[in-house]
Amino acid sequence: MGNKKKIAARPAAATTYKFAEMQAEAAAMGGEEAAEAWPPFVIDDVTPPIVITAPDTLERQLQIAELIDNGEIGVGQALPLLRALCGDAFPRVWSLIKNDKNPNTAIALVQTLMAHMYGAIEGEASEVPGGSQGSSD
């Protein structure tokens, strides 16, 4: 009889919250400048070049977070992840790779984009070296 869990009493009234207060608290934590300051990923061997911005919207950031499982990218997530990584540039990127006979091209592009944008995605832009020079290994 002494093993019964005590159930919290239901509050008498609804608890209210202020969205503006949550925004202010989030702003105090920082991080919003990471994606905005991150250099774009540019595919320059097409005319005009394809410029892929860092995931600077909450929607893109959440989609990417949902599709990455502990840093691993499953083959089934490659297309939705590519779409989220590319944002508005996706139609042009897709036109480049959709007829490629080798599926590894899309996987390589996703991996290269992830390597380039890691800091913007993780919100650690100041801790990760910029550029994609080291992603050719």
pLDDT at 125: 34
Identity of the residue numbered 30? G
28's tokens: 């105090």
The answer to whether residue 99 is domain-embedded is: yes
59's tokens: 């929607």
The answer to whether residue 29 is domain-embedded is: no
Q: Please write the tens of the pLDDT for every residue from 79-131.
A: 899 999 999 999 999 999 999 988 888 888 988 998 888 777 665 433 333 33
Please give the tally of structural domains in the chain.
Answer: 1
What's the CA gap between 41 and 87, in Å, rounded? 12
Domain span at residue 129 reads: 34-136
The answer to whether residue 18 is domain-embedded is: no
Q: Please write the tens of the pLDDT for every residue from 34-52.
A: 566 789 999 999 999 999 9
Higher pLDDT, 14 or 131: 14
The answer to whether residue 74 is domain-embedded is: yes
The answer to whether residue 118 is domain-embedded is: yes
Neighbours of 84 (CB within 10 A): 25
The answer to whether residue 14 is domain-embedded is: no
Indicate left, alpha or beta for 70 from its phi (over 0: left) and psi (-120 to 50: alpha).
left
pLDDT at 90: 96
pLDDT at 137: 39
What's the CA gap between 128 and 44, in Å, rounded? 23
The answer to whether residue 28 is domain-embedded is: no
- Mean pLDDT for the chain overall: 78
Higher pLDDT, 51 or 56: 51
